[in-house]
Amino acid sequence: MTSRAGIGPRRQPQQFMRLSDNLYEQEVIVDDDLTLYTSGRKSTGLRSAIYIILCVITGGIYYLICRWNTAIEMKTKTFPCSLADADYICIKNQWGEISLNRITKIDFGMKASMIFPRSFTEVDASQDIILDHLRFYDYRYFKFFFNPNTEMFEPNYAWVDSNWTSVSRVFLEQDDDQEIHSKRSIFGKNQVEIQEKSNFRLLVDEVLHPFFVFQIASIILWSLDDYYYYAGAILFISVTSSIATFLETKRNINRMKDLSRFSCHVRLLRNGVWVYMNSEEMVPGDLFEIESGSLNLFPCDAVLLTGDCIVNESMLTGESLPVSKSPIPDQELASLDFEAEEPASSPHMSKYFLFSGTKIIRIRPGNQAELSKKYPSIIGSRKGAIALVVRTGFNTTKGSLIRSMLFPRPNTFKFYRDAFRFIGVLAVISGLGFLGSLYNFIKLGINWETIIIRALDLITIAVPPALPATMAIGTSFAISRLRKSGIFCTSPPRVNIGGKINIMCFDKTGTLTEEGLDVLGVRFTVPNESRFENPYHEIPSLQPVRFSRMYRTIETLMTKPVPISGALGSTVPEYPSFGPTMSGVSIMHSNDPNNPVVEPDFPYPLIICAMATCHSIKVVGGDLMGDPLDLKMFQFTNWNIEEDFSSNVAAKKTVRNGATLTVRPPWVPAYDTVTSSKNFGTETFTELGVVKSFEFVSNLRRQSVVVQRFKYSGSTAVGNSFTESSSDPGIYPEYEVFVKGAPEVMQSICDISTFPKDYNEQLRYYTHHGYRVIAVAYKKLESMSLASVQKLKRQSVETGLLFLGFIIFENKLKPGTFPVIKTLNKAAIRQVMCTGDNVLTSISVSRECGLVKKSSRIFIPRFESGQSHEEDARIVWEDVDDSNLKLDPVTFKPNGDVSPERLADYQMAITGDAFQWMLEFASDEIFEKVF
């Protein structure tokens, strides 16, 4: 069995290491896409003189050869030496590209531990010498500094201050002016500034390209042979091609500069005083204030220290969704390590990380009173959140994104490889023709001038000089046509690749289907038999359950309001006749049948409570923002949501202690309305508060929240059902857990007895008809304090749950999906759908949009034995419409009585767990047959 490394989690390699004992060579693993092999080189006056002499005596030909082949230039001008003594550094990446970079020396005058903090954490302090100078080189906007302790060049993009061990230490230990100046020498200005070549240099690069030089030589040769018209035509084509390439290059560079350039004024803490400065002056270790209205975009990479933020990270993810950021705990700050974990790809660290270039939606300060007591000289009257600068310039996530656009992976397009081979074969043929012609011309006694012209003319005939120019012009026209359609290309060679695409991979939601989903309805669990039909009677013990009928609106689920005796004229919705269920008359259940919890003021099924609380919706300026699915789900309930309690401090301290947001039914008035009015008397109202949440994680495919009931009335704030100040210290508030996620994962975290017998049948029905299904589960936490709830780990919350039911969404195709798929089919371009949705839903959408024929048989994998993490697991492939029809495990051809035409027309849909198993354990032969 083989394992395919490189597909899966980001590797955590050693970032730099020696390749030889003589200190001449070094390997630097920048990231998964770039590995550098460097060696020290030193130049002497003698070697430089030899290089100049060779260029002069060859009439510049040796200069051109060295320009086209850096290895020859390097060997001529320099010789190998240790990295410590090097004047130049030879850099070779994993694609064989070689460059020779000069090493720069600048004044420093600070301790080595300032720039290499990790190298001096475990050594004697006496070794932490003062560096009078810093030696470094630049490569693709990376900076590598020479570390005298390790005698290697180390990058500065992974720099982390050794003082960043706690938030308190960051606040109390600020850099002085000398340290800030030194950091600016290390990191440069906080700007993503693209170094633009001058027009003269761009023209020289174009003119001295090998193909252009060959064209000029051919034009001179033809002119000497009186082919003026042909030479003039080729000259016109060559000049036009060069000008078009030059203008396109300038246009791309200017577009990239406009995209990357950004600066603004920020409020920085310098020498204990908050001052406004240009964002270009920021260095790692600075503290800056984020205040609503003062900043629209983050000017650097930072971690949040106080307050909370909602940001839009569409620049990084492509999804315009609000993302919440919370203050980083001391433990996470102390473990910050950019070599081991890149925040952009870490769901764990990204919660505290503010990425450069991302848009600020909302800023809220932290607990100003508490912070002012701890740091009176720093916090003072600050009205915004405070963040710590950790990366600037090209070291930021935005800088990495711009760098990837400036230096894309080398083109491995087969067309170019074959084109160069073709030209190489023509060159060999022309060389043989040249030698043959030379021999015959000498034998015939023709003069040398004619011999040279005729023999070289044969080379220009065999190798067409106009070929590169005409291809460049064609590419330029293609780019201009694409630009008119709003498609921009930063790498012209990619245009030709676009013409050779043979497979297209699509996401489903938002790509093939509409961005938003509509709630078709909900179906929740009800008992098969119940002795009680009145929901306010005793709640019976758990009965075998079944699915309720489909409730397509909240109005059909909750009938018209009716007065409830003793509620002082208030009204609550009348509960339907399906009786008390595990999905619940109330938000809570009693474990003691003889002492039931009766709550006529809150008769909503638990699945509605889950829909109202288990989401990532934020309130910004009175508008709801969040994932489209969450928004549709919450809007289905018609509930109200409140997130910002800052206007009512009393509410936060009493009723809503610990809640990040609260939701309430539409008939429940707001807390401020009730407590500020005398019209409600002692009437009590209930709302739900989310005290802890675990965000959706793609590999877990679920999201969960811990919810607490909060009660209030006009006369007094009732607080929780039980308050922590109760006379009985052993009685704590009761909390509920709501979880929503993929139906497939719910079976592993829920009590199996709470699933209806037709669970899989119902799931199959809805997914088979193209609906998206979200499963919901619940459990109650007992005898826990708020502090204990806040410390809960995800694995302890999302286990032992009770299944509540299904939320069913419908997702319509985009109007342009079918025509695009039809066009791709006509072009014989294969299409693949890649989605995190249920496989049956994906199959239904594929058939509907024409991605697969409706008559095609589609086979899906099922683990007959074992699990996806077990090597000896066995997978069978079954027809989605007929489970008796399977694929042969060796040939992957359908078994059974199948007609030849149907035998040739079948597709395979692979699930995530089966794909993971094949990546890790399947043989190459099986992998190739499937894909």
C-alpha–C-alpha distance, residues 609 and 707, integer Å: 9
Quickly list H helices, 375-413. 376-379, 397-406
Q: Three-class SS string for 159-200?
A: CCCCCCCCHHHHHHCCCCHHHHHHHHHHHCCCCCCCCCCCHH
- SS3 labels along 467-478: HHHHHHHHHHHH
Q: Are 150 and 118 in contact (CB under 8 A)?
A: no
Check 507, 672, 751, 913 and give the catalytic one: 507
Distance of alpha carbon 315 from the chain centroid: 10
Strands (E), 199-300: 265-270, 273-278, 287-290
Dihedral sign from CA coordinates of 237, 243, 247, 253: positive
Neighbours of 774 (CB within 10 A): 25
Fill in the DSSP letter of residue 813. B
- Among 672, 369, 738, residue whose Cα is nearest residue 524: 738
Q: Are strands 906-908 and 857-865 parallel, antiparallel or unpaired?
A: parallel
Name the strand (E) or helix (H) holding 456. Answer: helix 448-462
Asked whether the beta carbons of 473 and 247 are under 8 A apart, the reply is no
User: CA-CA distances (angstroms) from residue 350 to 292, 346, 463, 741, 921?
Assistant: 21, 6, 55, 21, 32
Contacts of 23 (CB under 8 A, 6+ apart): 40, 82, 83, 84, 151
Which three-class secondary structure state does DSSP give residue 366? coil
Catalytic annotation on 507?
yes
**φ/ψ of residue 286, rounded to 5:** -70, 145
Asked whether 812 and 509 are in contact (CB, 8 A), the reply is no
3-class DSSP state for residue 281? helix
Q: Do residues 702 and 741 make contact, with C-beta atoms less than 8 angstroms apart?
A: yes
Question: Nearest-CA neighbor of 375 among 363, 386, 388?
Answer: 386
b or e along 135-169 (b: 16 or more beta carbons within 10 Å of the residue's beta carbon)?
bbbbbebbbbbbbeebebbbbbbbbbbeebbebee
Distance CA 405, CA 481 (A): 21
Burial of 272 (0-12, 13-18, 19+ CB in 10 A): exposed
Question: How many angstroms separate the CA atoms of 631 and 616, rounded?
Answer: 9
3-state SS string over 644-701?
CCCCCHHHHHCCCCCCCEEEECCCCCCHHHHHCCCCCCCCEEEEEEEEEEEEEECCCC
Burial classification of residue 315, based on how many CB atoms lie within 10 Å of its CB (0-12 exposed, 13-18 middle, 19 or more buried):
middle
Exposed e or buried b per residue across 73-107, where buried means at least 16 C-beta atoms within 10 angstroms of its C-beta? bbebbbeebebeebebbbbbbeeeeeebeebeeee
Rounded to the nearest 5°, which phi and psi values hold at 295? Answer: -130, 140
What is the distance between the alpha carbons of residues 263 and 283, in angstroms, rounded to a whole number?
Answer: 14
Rounded CA gap, 609 and 597, in Å? 17
> Of 345, 380, 441, which Cα lies nearest the Cα of 171?
380
Residues 408, 698, 859, CA angle at the centre, nearest 5°?
Answer: 90
Residue type, 1: M
Name the 3-class secondary structure at 522.
Answer: strand
Neighbours of 689 (CB within 10 A): 25
Which residues does the annotation mark as catalytic? 507
